[in-house]
Structure 1
Amino acid sequence: MSTSKKIISVILGALILFIWSMVSWMALPFHGNTLTQIPEGTVDLQKMQNDMPEDGVYHYPGMPADDSPETMAAMEEKLNKGPRIALMVYKSGATKLMDPMQFVLGFVINLLTVIGLFYIVSKLADKSIKSILTTVIVIGLIVGFASDFAMLNWWMFPMDFTITNVFDYLVSFSLVGLLFGSYSFKNA
């Protein structure tokens, strides 16, 4: 395979991932239906900015630094009362909606993902569409189980949120697999 065909394949694959992600998040209702907004006035934003000066991923009640029986009993009591906030990304300063750099970084992430998929597919002995599709679908499932289903288990992400994310991997990786099978590795 020529270098130009490899480069075209990777760029087209990254575009496929990028476009599918945009369609999935912006045009289809699935992601929007799995995210719930915190109602206005529920959070004291000024108190949050004062008490949480650092950006990061937070959870409540959080794991105590001390694992003494008393501390763990207090933690269990908090968990039994609720609420539990599994993961919350907190950015203290201003952010932009649809920041262009997020799109650039998103495309770079897609590019690196497709390079990985391309490398794995290039190592297949059988480069039929069926073999390529099976391989990329299995990779999508592995990604989903190792990331999203693990988050469902440990951080209690909702099942519909998890299934939607895994579905995205399967669709986008399948589309890239079709590109690889019908163009990149055709007649390989």
Structure 2
Amino acid sequence: MKRIVLAGLAGAVVYFVWQMLTWMLLPIHGPTVGPLPDEAPVRDLLVEQKVETGVYIVPYGSEEAMMDPESEYMKRHTDGPIFSIYYQQHGAQPMAMSVLAIGFLTDFLAASIVATLLCCAVGGCCCKSYLQRVGFVTAFGFFLALTGHVSYFNWMHFPADYTAMFVLDVIVGWLLAGLVIAAIIKQPPATCSINTT
């Protein structure tokens, strides 16, 4: 159990630092996220309509409209534009300590889950060497990229460059985390147990 906690903590530190670098220093996400040409009219309209906190997509259609090739929804969806709004009605500090703390806790829980699964896998034929264990952890980056970011690209029409940078981000991040997790989780299941008794 101690090894799993240690691996989870080490993996979380590496992944958290990588995330900070990708957003603040490396030219990964900056070029794919930008301001509206004129933010004020859009913001004022949303405020005037008293839009509540939530996620909104345009155009929006009922199930019937989605199945009807002649519907107004189908025409609007085909003609464009298509966009999503992730709307927070009330303001918040952009880099509040609570945001950073929850971010690190999230990374710790994720890294701990991966460490636990790796601990269970080291006795098999695919995770005996260090590089195999690194590959095992890195595979979770691919899993996250496919089920998360590529899915949004496909279903929600997120831009290709935005998606590609997030795919790169999570795969490299879990590769780096894998380097430290694999160095800690290297014993067979008999001595790498989550049993605390």
- Check if 1:110 corresponds to 2:107: yes
| 2:77 counterpart letter in structure 1 | L
Match of 2:25 in 1: 27
One of 60, 81, 85 as aligned partner of 1:83: 81
Q: Is the 8 A contact 1:129 1:177 kept in 2?
A: no
Cα deviation 1:85-144 (Å, max 9, x = unaligned): 1x2211111221212211111011101110111011101123321211221122211111
The 3-state SS of whatever aligns with 2:38 is coil
Instruction: Tell me the residue number matched to 1:153.
Output: 154
Counterpart residue type for residue 185 of structure 2: F
CA contact (8 A) 2:119 2:186 kept: no
- 3-state SS of paired residue (1:36): coil
Structure 2 residue aligned with 1:17: 15
Q: Which amino acid aligns with 2:9?
A: I
Q: Structure 2: which 5+ runs fail to align?
A: 189-197
The question of whether the paired residues in 1 share the 8 Å contact of 2:55 and 2:87 is answered with: yes
Contact 1:133 1:178 in 2 (8 A): yes
The 1-side partners of 2:68 and 2:30 are apart by 41
Report whether the alignment pairs 1:63 with 2:61: yes
Deviations 1:50-98 (Å, cap 9, x if unpaired)? 324310111111123753988961112222442211x221111122121
Instruction: Indicate the residue corresponding to 2:165 in structure 1.
Output: 164
What amino acid does structure 2 have at the position aligned with 1:144?
A: A
- 1:185 matched to 2:149? The reply is no
1:39-59 residue CA offsets vs partner (Å, 9 max, x unmatched)? 224634232113243101111
* 1:144-175 CA distance string (max 9 Å, x none): 11111111101111222112111112111111
Match of 1:169, SS?
Answer: helix
**TM, length-normalised to structure 1:** 0.86
Aligned to 1:173: 174
Flag as ranges the 4+ runs of structure 1 deviating above 6 A. Answer: 68-71
Quick one: distance in 2 between partners of 1:32 and 1:68? 34
**Residues 122, 22 of structure 1: alpha-carbon distance in 2 compared, 3 angstrom cutoff:** same
Over 3 Å counting, the alpha-carbon distance change for 1:58 and 1:68 in structure 2 is closer
CA contact (8 A) 1:61 1:79 kept: yes
Matched residue count: 184
What is the aligned-residue identity percentage?
Answer: 23
SS in 2 for 1:118: helix
Aligned residues: CA RMSD: 2.3
Gaps of 5+ in 1: none
Q: Using the TM superposition, name which of 35-44 and 120-129 deviates more.
A: 35-44
Assess if the C-alpha contact under 8 Å between 1:128 and 1:181 holds in 2. no
Q: Matches of residues 34-73 of structure 1 in structure 2 within 5 Å?
A: 34-41=32-39, 43-64=41-62, 67=65, 73=71
- CA contact 2:4–2:185 (8 Å) conserved in 1: no
Paired with 1:65 and 1:92, the residues of 2 have a C-alpha distance of 28
How far apart are the structure 2 equivalents of 1:70 and 1:11? 51
TM-score, normalised to structure 2's length? 0.83
